[in-house]
Structure 1
Amino acid sequence: MDIVLVDDDTDDVYLFTTACEYITPKPNLIVLQNGEQLLEYIDTHGLKGDKLYLVDLNMPKMGGLEALKHIKQRGLVNKLCIISYTTSSQPSDIEHAFSLGAKSYITKPSKVVDLIELLEVLTKYWFTYNHFARSNNE
């Protein structure tokens, strides 16, 4: 159960890491700091395995929307489970993320207890009930 968190905010990463400690089973957390690192990660690790990508929108070098655009251009958007995970609740950001292939859009909780609850629901849904598409790389 791999979760790839793409977020440059150290406080948000700490909160997320802390919340993962309370999830059973505990997810394998991979932390990347921007969209460029996400694209490199996908290139390096391919589409193998069941992974959930939570991608912040606003990051240095390359934000989440730009990364989604590149992923869509590569034809990979339907082979990856990408969720926008951001502080923005602007309708234009939500629409833009979905138009680029995000599977869901979540506004970051500010309390660790709320994040734990969110992660319990996400991991149960994505890793227990959801069926991941098989790629040609597997």
Structure 2
Amino acid sequence: MPEMTEPVRICESTALEDGGLGVRFPVEVRGRTVSAFVVRYAGGVHGYLNQCAHVPMEMDWQEGQFFESSGLYLMCATHGAIYEPDTGRCVGGPCRGSHLSKLDIAERNGEVWWQPDALFRMPAPTATPIPPA
């Protein structure tokens, strides 16, 4: 298990296609584990907390489906808010001008990595009970 501040491998680069499905992963924010995601847009990878800027509800339509039908914008399934995939800025809907919470994501050597920081951390491992003998 990586340390709380070490880079965390999210997925292979080939798992992300421009305007295609995203990959979800857990992030700890203020002591609470929430979902985050990475997507590919215009050749780059971008990551955000999986929470709409309008009301903090998960955004994907189905697991990993964050883009609207054209593949040009991220869209909240609940509120219809539209976001620029590369900046996280809301350009349409109830939270126009607000931003998604952006994560520090990098792509290197064919893999996508997330760099935890003081606000967005790696969740602590949960203890797995030992089954009775």
User: Could you tell me the TM-score, scaled by structure 1's length?
Assistant: 0.30
User: Could you tell me the TM-score, scaled by structure 2's length?
Assistant: 0.30
Structure (1 or 2) with the greater helix fraction: 1
**Larger CA Rg, structure 1 vs 2:** 2
